């Protein structure tokens, strides 16, 4: 987990995201990203009779190879969805557990996709499934 100060720096300053954005982030990671990865991983079982599992096995790709691709593919879909929200192509509102309604395009400051994929972002903070941080070395000096 990110320390509070590290998360504040990642999110662009001293002020934290609205609690509603953080609640949205946690729900997206736990109920969409992580659930999709677990569901796809289940298809890798040699005894799975699901049509998708059969199609993957018949492709000739190894379970290990597919297992590497799964989190990348899931992350790409979630990123594209969040980017469409950021760009205002999908006008979406989120109602928090406390009943507050926010406009994700406006209140997300056009940064939802970046907060999701960025080094130290939502995946690192909330995910219990594997991911590769392709941007972890951007802040380091040689």
DSSP string, 18-84: PHHHHHHHHHHIIIIIHHHHHHHHHHTSTT--SHHHHHHHHTT--HHHHHHHHHHHHHHHHHHHHHH
Which tens digits make up the pLDDT trace of 90-105? 999 999 999 999 999 9
Check residue 117 and give its pLDDT.
Answer: 94
For residue 44, give Cα distances in angstroms to 7, 37, 87, 127: 35, 11, 35, 20
As a whole number of angstroms, the distance between CA 87 and CA 95 comes to: 20
pTM above 0.95, yes or no: no
Which tens digits make up the pLDDT trace of 13-35? 434 579 999 999 999 999 999 99
The answer to whether 24 and 93 are in contact (CB under 8 A) is no
β-pairing, 93-95 vs 101-103, is antiparallel
The answer to whether 105 and 113 are in contact (CB under 8 A) is no
Q: Where are the domains of the chain?
A: 4-37+65-126
As a whole number of angstroms, the distance between CA 118 and CA 135 comes to: 7
């Amino acid at each position: 987990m990110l320390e509070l100060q590290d998360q504040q720096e990642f999110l662009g300053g001293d002020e934290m995201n609205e609690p509603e954005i953080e609640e949205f982030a946690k729900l997206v990671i736990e109920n969409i990203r992580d659930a999709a990865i677990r569901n796809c991983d289940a298809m890798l079982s040699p005894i799975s009779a699901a049509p998708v599992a059969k199609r993957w096995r018949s492709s000739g790709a190894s379970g290990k190879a597919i297992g590497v691709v799964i989190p990348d593919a899931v992350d790409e879909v979630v990123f594209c969805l969040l980017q469409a929200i950021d760009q205002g192509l999908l006008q979406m509102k989120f109602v928090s557990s406390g009943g507050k309604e926010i406009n994700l395009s406006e209140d997300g400051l056009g940064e939802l996709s970046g907060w999701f994929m960025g080094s130290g972002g939502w995946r690192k903070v909330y995910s219990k499934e594997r991911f590769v941080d392709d941007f972890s070395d951007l802040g380091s000096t040689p």
